[in-house]
Amino acid sequence: MHVAGNSSVRNLLIFVLLAVFSLPVSAVVYKYRDNEGRIYLSDKPVQGNYKLISRYSIKGGLKKVKPGRIDLQAWQKNRKRYAPLIESVARESLIRPELLHAMVHAESAYDPKAESRKGAVGLMQLMPATAKRYGVTDRYNPEQNLRAGASYLKDLLEQFDFDLKLAVAAYNAGENAVIRAGNQIPNYPETQAYVEKVLRFYKQNRESNS
């Protein structure tokens, strides 16, 4: 379900209430703003050039959902804990372990409980649609999360003729965004910074293993 409206507070509250009454008790309402300032409400996270303003849960009453969380302080401990699994999944997926490590580092800082403001969760920050596509039943399960994320990355590498930058950009912004950009990195500051970060981590990992 998607509901569009203008940016006035009064109308926005009406839209939220309408969304609340049409959703199950445990649903979450996502509020987005597009480039032209229009407000959209949805019961599912959406990808594309939208800015997530806030999320509201209707479980136990209408409550604003806290922004994304990630445990940056424990990244080294978590890296050590999940390194064997990451490297095993990488080998099974025919992906260099240094690359999968770089992706996990950039996505979640190795926090298996990481949550983004857009609704992505886990080590590889899986969105609900991606998790469903790869048969994930529990996005917070580290092994399921890693296997799905690695499979998605491998598919993107194949789709973009093993152009690492494009595959990484597509993981962040979606393959359609890369295609719309003429098979170039989309002109999204977040995606461009993300690609640079992953490639930097990847280079560091390869140098440390050489």
Torsion sign across C-alpha atoms 81, 83, 84, 89: positive
The boundaries of every CATH 1.10.530.10 domain in the chain are 75-209
- Give pLDDT tens digits for 112-122: 999 887 889 99
Check residue 48 and give left, alpha or beta (phi > 0: left; psi -120 to 50: alpha): left
Q: What is the pLDDT of residue 26?
A: 44
Question: What is the DSSP code string of 77-139?
Answer: HHHHHHHHHHHHHHHHTT--HHHHHHHHHHHHTT-TT-B-TTS-BTTTTB-HHHHHHTT-S-T
Which tens digits make up the pLDDT trace of 87-110?
999 999 999 999 999 999 999 999
Residue with tokens 């407000």: 39
**pLDDT tens across 2-21, in order?**
445 444 444 544 444 454 44
Q: Is residue 191 pLDDT above 80, yes or no?
A: yes
Q: What is the pLDDT of residue 195?
A: 97
pLDDT-wise least confident of 110-119, 131-140, 190-199 = 110-119
Single-letter code of the amino acid located at 17: L
Candidate list 107, 175, 196, 207, residue with the active-site label: 107
Give mean pLDDT, residues 34-46.
Answer: 68
Annotated active-site residue 107? The verdict is: yes
Which residues on adjacent β-strands are paired with residue 36?
none
Q: What SS3 class is residue 60?
A: coil
Q: Which fold has domain 75-209?
A: Lysozyme (1.10.530)
State residue 133's pLDDT score: 94
How many Å from the N-terminal Cα to the C-terminal Cα in the chain?
50
Contacts of 86 by beta carbon, 8 Å cutoff, 6+ apart: 97, 100, 101, 104, 123, 146
Task: Report the distance separating Cα 68 and Cα 119, nearest Å.
Answer: 8
- Could you say which DSSP state residue 61 is in? S
Does pTM top 0.75 for this prediction? no
